[in-house]
Amino acid sequence: MAAAAALGATIVVALLGIFISVAISWNNMSQLDRRLDTAAQVLIANAAEAASFLPRFGDTNAFAITIRNSNTGDVMVSTPTTMPVVGLGAETATVDGTDYRVSTTAIPNTPLWMSLAVPASEADDITTDQRKWVMIAGLIAVAGATGLGWLFGGRAVRPIVQLTHQIADGTPQAVTVSGVREAEELADAIDSMLDRITDAQRQTEAALDTARDFAAASAHELRTPLTAMRTDIEVLSTLELDSAERAEILIDLARTQGRVESTLAALERLASGELSSDKDHAPTDLVEICDAATRDAQRQHPNLTVQVDADRAVVVSGLSVGLRLAVDNAISNAVRHGRAGTVRLAVHRQPGGTVRLTVDDDGRGIPEAEREVVFERFQRGAGAAAGGSGLGLALVDQQAQLHGGRAWFEESDLGGARLVFEFPSRP
């Protein structure tokens, strides 16, 4: 910025210098012409006396006077230095290699012209001195512009330098700048960019953690059923079996394959939940979700009675797919593992703004010692039915956390277990 200020000042000073130099030269020559005109008027008024002493005037190169006949061009009288024939007015003439400024005036009532001249160096010397001072002033102006450019430019770019150092040090922060709009805009743009990068890194790390968890959980949970399936396949391929034995092994293979499929599906839903964010939340009516889950549960379990006790509408900001998954898993858990015949869903908004969803059943219940353990992945209660993945209640707990709440078990007034799903009502 200092170099730009110096370059700009140099260009301006150079243009002004050229203009001022021309103006000085013209002004000095004009002043010399006026002095010559004044002297000529005095000499014309005393032309007779002047003519008598001009030939005797020594040639000091101080001035020259020549009077000649304008008709014939003959010199009537002159100083030792004779001016050439020139027209009326002022112009520059060269005599013996010396430039003279000549002012020629007609003597009234005569055919004579008088040429009064002085060396042009008289004006040139003054012009040279003045141009020198103009050049000195221009150099001072360029130096001053450079210094001011360095001073003000340094103040202007200091926030950008600080921001650069912060980014280089790995601690980017917004720079507080007063009156430097471009630096403020740059800091805001970098902050916004770094926020997006941080969010992307966080999402990438979460995705990597989810992938690692998915791989570890899959390896842990699928090792046993896959081993059993390989054993069944080896038996089918190496042993001679009758039709009943083959049918029994095929049934076992189908059952194990179903377990593997359900486990993978549950793990996929867990991974999808962990990769969701608040941006995916949308207004969702919990009562509609419970009504839809009730209809599907009664179609899948014809002997099951499902009731819904809810306010007219309870709209929250959440993941509709995740909330539906939690309700479906809660009902399925009550029917499959609790042996429930009646399930009651209740959705109410609490006085403090909290939304509570409860799932009561009349089944076998859950021992108090197992009420926290069953929410962990691959953990099953002592009375759980065979073939489960141990991920159903983990999905319920995950959805509770994704919605800023929690899930827990209580005793139900229906005689079985009560699953409480509570979270704050967020806009």
Which tens digits make up the pLDDT trace of 114-170?
Answer: 888 888 777 777 777 877 888 888 888 888 888 887 887 777 777 777 777 766 776
pTM over 0.85: no
Looking at residue 24, what is its pLDDT?
80
> Do residues 106 and 38 touch, judged by C-beta distance below 8 A?
no
Question: Beta-carbon neighbour count of residue 216 at 10 Å?
Answer: 10
Virtual torsion, Cα 339, 342, 348, 354, nearest 10 deg: -10
Residue 324 is which amino acid?
Answer: R
Q: At what angle do helices 2-45 and 121-169 cross, to 10 degrees?
A: 170
Task: Write the Ramachandran bin of 207: left for phi over 0, alpha for psi from -120 to 50, otherwise beta.
Answer: alpha
All domains of the chain in start order, with CATH: 2-139 (3.30.450.20), 174-275 (1.10.287), 278-424 (3.30.565.10)
Mean pLDDT of the 31-35 span: 80
* Sheet containing strand 406-411, strands side by side: 305-310, 342-349, 354-361, 417-424, 406-411
Looking at residue 382, what is its pLDDT?
57
Looking at residue 343, what is its pLDDT?
92
Looking at residue 83, what is its pLDDT?
82
Instruction: Report the C-alpha gap between 384 and 25 in whole angstroms.
Output: 111
The band of 213, judged by pLDDT with boundaries at 50, 70 and 90, is low
Give me the residue label for tokens 């960019």: 193
Q: What is the mean pLDDT of the chain?
A: 78
Task: Show the 3-state SS of the chain.
Answer: CHHHHHHHHHHHHHHHHHHHHHHHHHHHHHHHHHHHHHHHHHHHHCHHHHHHHCCCCCCCCCCEEEEEECCCCCEEEECCCCCCCCCCEEEEEEECCEEEEEEEEECCCCCEEEEEEEECHHHHHHHHHHHHHHHHHHHHHHHHHHHHHHHHHHHHHHHHHHHHHHHHHCCCCCCCCCCCHHHHHHHHHHHHHHHHHHHHHHHHHHHHHHHHHHHHHHHHHHHHHHHHHHHHHHHHHHCCCCHHHHHHHHHHHHHHHHHHHHHHHHHHHHHHHHCCCHHHCEEEEHHHHHHHHHHHHHHHCCCCEEEEEECCCCEEEECHHHHHHHHHHHHHHHHHCCCCCEEEEEEEECCCCEEEEEEEECCCCCCHHHCCHHHCCCCCCCCCCCCCCCCHHHHHHHHHHHCCCEEEEEECCCCCEEEEEEEECCC
Give me the residue label for tokens 């967020």: 426
Report the percentage of the chain scoring pLDDT > 70: 80
Mean pLDDT of the 96-121 span: 82
